[in-house]
Structure 1
């Protein structure tokens, strides 16, 4: 039972009782209300009397109210089990996007915003930032163009890009393909995974259906001893959404056209102008320098992995082409094998110490100690119904598996309410297929000066429990979950006046830095031990199952042994160059398609060939293009760009941010936390200086304030083990 002061949140959580019709009706109502606010501003204010208070503020308050409902309307598309509801949610996203484009291109509103800016009002810093961002947004949405064909074409492009984005992500969410294999073809894949696979009937009897969902895909690529199986799975996964190939190409062409209409040389120049990097040259130089420094390390790592592959091939009778090269589908398998053979590191054994629920509890405890928070899980029909505004307890979640927490400041931070955290942990049909944090409702200050509290959701795809084991996390899954939870905490503790700047609404090449920094806690011995809890201690049934399956005569230690922790940490940078070269491929491809020298260049570009050939050049890993057969020399064996949701969902000309923000995250950790990761004084300073600000202040100035100086690259390159 939670302490009394944490039992009654001052704000009820949202409810998830929408119908197909209510989603559409609510979207229409929100759009009508918002349009009427804009119309009223234009009707009642003239340029000579325009002020922040009578132009920007009414629309900002409306944006706040809009976000409270609109985020949820689109969220159903990512999490609902009802296809009709997902389809309606997609329709609503399109309606809201179209209205957003309409609003961003209203010339009559722009005239008033421009008048306010020209009057140079004296404003608080966040309001000043809102004015500048809003003014620049109108210009970047075509209002620097004279009315006529060019502006009309720009609007058409914006609308079509919105349609493409929604359709692209929907195709990924709805993807339900896979491959049938015999048990022998899946030899080596952990029994936990095999036990969850669909069993074939009729002509498929004796076969198992392997989907492309993470809990099936990754264990197969890491553990299947059959090289042909790994190849089939890898190639099929690259082709799982080929209907997105044309959409991706169209998006790239339209983005380039739109940028040139606005007077930019390409889409990357347009996008990066508004980020921390500012220029495409900064990004290109960073990626090229990183590639130059990582490439030799990648080549050495492949040499070592190839030695291991030759030994393994000899032991298992693998001959022919699949034995002759180091392939894309080999990397997860031999990376894992190297850790086991050379470092005596068995990730299956490590996973036994990280049952999902106890690991979550441990992570929340870290955030409680570091940031002064309290997480109170809301369980049981009675407690949930008390927050359901007269409805059923099930109304405050969208699926029965979803966990919900009320989040509070601890007494040292004032014991006030912070917001709601949701955890949606397991895969299901139609659900968003990766790992992400979704803002459900932002926080802000309303027109009466009252704090509105946020709600945020982690949408994940971990393996489901089996009758003999709970869901167990591999260490990389622990890191992934901590990263996404970091985004969630950023979302929760943000304290901005306007929803526009709430939480993770920062520039793209900074947004990953706070969560990347927190990943370091997953490599800290004391925190790894505190997170660990061997699953055999969770229940007598689990204890019995463990003893039977392991053949041991007693349970292992409850917490992960220090020797195993030391082994794990010693592997942090094993094959690190190859991992970062993979990220470098994504970032370089992103720039290649969005930074052509002319529109004709991108029209002629074979995007599939560009994706696969760049991957071969940068990652140094071979694909089917080197095998004899109809694919030899052909770069069209797979369409990985069609599965690359980031580049359609907001990271276009911005994927480099995953690498560049590591510069900031590593600098912050080394400078402030490395010596004492659980220092509560520094944790709270980080919370109040970095996380609370959201995007309400220039991100570089936030960094400089926290570090006490300009950020530096030394820690980043030191962590990678390469000289500058």
Structure 2
């Protein structure tokens, strides 16, 4: 039972009762209202009388109100079980995007914004930042190009890129492919994965349907002893969305054309100008330096892994081409084998200590202690119905699996309401198939000076519970959950005046840093132990199932043993060079396709070949191109770029940010938290200095204020084990 002060939030949660018709009707209503606000500003304000209050503020307040509904309308495409709803959400998103392009290219509005900027009114810092960002946005959306054919072409490009983005994402979310395997072909795959697979009938009698969803894909690549099974699965997964190949190519070409219309040398130059890195040279130098430092380590790691492979193939009598090299489909398998043999570390055993629900509770407790928060789960029809304004309790979630929390400040922070947190953790057809945080409603100050509170959702794809086991998290899934929850906390505790800067609305090469920093808590012994709770203690049924499956005479300790934690932590950087080289491949490929020497060069570029050849060159892992047979020397065996949602969904010429923001995150952790990770005073200072600001202030200034100096790379390279 929640304490009285945390029972009745001052703001009701959103409802998820949309229909196909209402999604489109509401979208059109919001667009009409927004257009009328812009029209009114243009009609009523003259250039010489334009001010922040009569020009910028009305449109910004409309943006605030639009976001409250628009984010949820678009969210249905990621989570709705009904395909008609997902389709309507995609259609609505297209309408929003088309209107956004129209609004961003209104010269009559831009002239007024330009007049306000030139007036140089004295504004508070966030309002000044809003004005400057709005002004720059018009220029970056084509208004620096004289009216005429070029500007018209730029608008066409923007509209087509929007269509591509929506179609690309939809193809990924609705991908439902897989492969039929016999139980023998899946030898070694954990039983809880096998239990969840669909059993074949008719011509597929005796076979099991393995999808490309993470809870099927990763355990199979890690545990299947059959190299041919892993090879086949890996290649088919790379080809699961080949409809996106042409869309990706078209997007790359259009982005380059659009950037050149605006006077930039490349799309990368256009995108990075507005980020912390500022120049493509900064990014390319960073990636090249990291590659130079990591490459020798990657080579050594492969040599050691190859020793394991030789021993494994010898013991199992494997011969032929698949037994000879070290391939992309080998890595998860032999990486796991090395951890088990060299470090006596069995990730299946570790997972037994991290049932999903108790791990979530443990994480929330950490955030409570660190940031001064209180999480109150809203369960049961009665409590949910009380927040549904006369509706049903199910109206305030989009699926029965979804958990909902009201989030509050603790006593030390004033017991005020913070917002709503949703957790949608299991895979289902049509659902977004990675792990991500979605803002459902931003926070801001409304026109009456009253705070509007945020709502945020974690969407993940962890394995579902079975009668014999709850959902158990591998350690890397614990890290993923912590990371995404970090984005959620950023979203929740943000305190900006305008929704434009709320939460994770920062530059892309900083946005990952707060979440990456929180991953460190998953490698801290005391926090790992506090998160753990062996699943056999959850119920008598689970206890009986554990004893039967393990053959043990009694349950293990409730919390994970110190010895197991020590083993786990000792593996943190095992094969780390190869992991980071994989990230480096993504970042380097992103820059390669977005920074061609000329548009003609880009037109000639074979993107699939570039993706696969660059992967081999950087990661040093071979694919089918290294095998004898029809694919020998051919880089066209897979189209990984067609599954690379980040590069279509906002990380274009920005994927380097996953690596560069680690510089900031590691510096923050080493400097402030490493010696005392649960220091509540520093946690609250971090909350108020970094997280609350969102994107309302220059990110570098935020960092420098928190660190007390400019950020440094020393901790980053030290953590990677590569000296400067």
| Coarse TM-score class (shorter-chain normalised) | over 0.9
Quick one: distance in 1 between partners of 2:49 and 2:346?
70
Partner of 2:208: 208
Distance of 2:627 and 2:334 partners within structure 1: 20
Structure 2 Cα separation of the partners of residues 323 and 629 of structure 1 = 15
Match of 1:699 in 2: 699
Give, in whole Å, the separation in 2 of the partners of 1:531 and 1:191. 25
Give SS of 1:406's match.
strand
CA distance in 2, matches of 1:611, 1:495: 41
- Give 2:235's aligned residue: 235
Separation in 2 of the partners of 1:389 and 1:636? 56
Describe the superposition over 1:431-482 as per-residue Cα deviations: whole angstroms up to 9, x where unpaired. Answer: 0000000000000000000000000000000000001000000000000000
For 1:5, the equivalent position in structure 2 comes to 5
Aligned to 1:457, what secondary structure does the other structure show? strand
Aligned to 2:556: 556
Name 1:384's counterpart in structure 2.
384
Equivalences for 1:269-280 in 2 at 5 Å? 269-280=269-280
| Alignment match, 2:537 | 537
Distance 2:66 2:150 in 1: 30
**1:410 Cα offset (Å):** 0.2
Report the secondary structure of 1:668's partner residue.
helix
Q: 2 CA distance for matches of 1:317 and 1:100?
A: 61
Partner residue in 2 for 1:66: 66
Other-structure match for 1:426: 426
Give 1:389 shift: 1.1
Paired residues for 1:584-599 under 5 Å:
584-599=584-599
Alignment deviations for residues 6-59 of structure 1 (CA, whole Å, 9 cap, x no partner)? 000000000000000000000000000000000000000011000000000000
Cα distance between partner residues in 2 of 1:223 and 1:97: 43
**Alignment partner, residue 163 of structure 2:** 163
Aligned counterparts of 2:344 and 2:122: Cα–Cα separation in 1: 64
The RMSD of aligned alpha carbons is 0.3
Q: Deviation of residue 121 (structure 1)?
A: 1.0
Residue of structure 1 in register with 2:600 after alignment: 600
SS at match of 2:179: strand
**1:259-338 map, 5 Å:** 259-338=259-338
Shift of 1:311: 0.1
CA distance in 2, matches of 1:520, 1:673: 9
Distance (Å, rounded) in 2 between the aligned partners of 1:104 and 1:319? 61
Q: Distance in 2 between matches of 1:137 and 1:398?
A: 34
Paired residues for 1:323-472 under 5 Å: 323-472=323-472
Distance in 2, Cα, partners of 1:524 & 1:723:
23
Whole-Å Cα distance in 2 between the matches of residues 50 and 236 of structure 1?
A: 58
Name the counterpart of 2:176. Answer: 176
Aligned twin of 1:256: 256
The 2-side partners of 1:507 and 1:548 are apart by: 52
Query: Which secondary structure state, in structure 1, belongs to the residue aligned with residue 374 of structure 2?
Result: strand
Quote the offset at 1:79 in angstroms. Answer: 0.1
Superposition pairs of residues 478-497 of structure 1, within 5 angstroms: 478-497=478-497
> When the two structures are superposed, what TM-score results if normalisation uses the length of structure 1?
1.00
- Deviations for 1:555-602, whole angstroms, at most 9, x for unmatched residues? 000000000000000000000000000000000000000000100011
The Cα of 1:629 is off from its aligned counterpart by: 1.0
CA distance in 2, matches of 1:96, 1:260: 26
Q: Residue 199 of structure 1 aligns with which residue?
A: 199
Where structure 2 has 5 or more consecutive residues not aligned to the other structure, the ranges are: none
2-structure distance, mates of 1:313, 1:338: 14
**1:2 Cα offset (Å):** 0.1
Name the structure 1 match of 2:147. 147
Quick check: 1:91 aligned with 2:108?
A: no
**Residue in 2 aligned with 1:657?**
657
In structure 1, what is the Cα distance between the partners aligned to 2:336 and 2:402?
Answer: 32
TM-score (norm 2): 1.00
Q: Using the alignment, how far apart are the partners of 1:54 and 1:143 within structure 2? A: 22
- Say which SS state the counterpart of residue 663 (structure 2) adopts: helix
Counterpart in 1 of 2:629?
629
Write the distance in 2 (CA, Å) between the matches of 1:54 and 1:297.
59
Q: Secondary structure at the match of 2:297?
A: helix
Partner of 2:8: helix, strand, or coil?
coil
SS of the residue corresponding to residue 62 of structure 1 reads helix
Q: Distance in 2 between matches of 1:723 and 1:9?
A: 51
Question: What SS does the aligned partner of 1:318 have?
Answer: coil
CA deviations over 1:103-152 (Å, ceiling 9, x no partner): 00000000000000011111000000000000000000000111000000
- Secondary structure of the residue aligned to 2:427 is coil
The residue aligned with 2:643 is 643
**SS where residue 684 of structure 1 aligns?**
helix
- CA–CA distance in 2 between the matches of 1:180 and 1:87? 29
Q: Post-superposition, which runs of at least 4 consecutive aligned residues in structure 1 deviate over 6 A? A: none
Cross-structure match for 1:23: 23
Q: By how many angstroms is 1:686 displaced?
A: 0.2
Distance in 1, matches of 2:393 and 2:123, equals 44
Tell me by how many angstroms 1:318 deviates.
Answer: 1.0
Partner-residue secondary structure (3-state), 2:405: strand
Q: Deviations over 1:350-394 (max 9, x none)?
A: 000000000000000000000000000000000000000110000
Between the aligned partners of 1:146 and 1:575, the Cα distance in structure 2 is 53
Corresponding residue number in structure 1 for 2:615:
615
Aligned twin of 2:225? 225
The reply on whether 1:188 has 2:188 as its aligned counterpart is yes
User: 1:320, CA displacement in angstroms?
Assistant: 1.0
Find the aligned partners of 1:96 and 1:247 in 2 and give their Cα distance.
Answer: 20
Q: d(CA) in 2 for partners of 1:417 and 1:632?
A: 61
- Within the alignment, does 1:679 sit opposite 2:679 as a pair? yes
1:501 corresponds in structure 2 to: 501
Cα distance in 2 for residues equivalent to 1:306 and 1:353 = 31
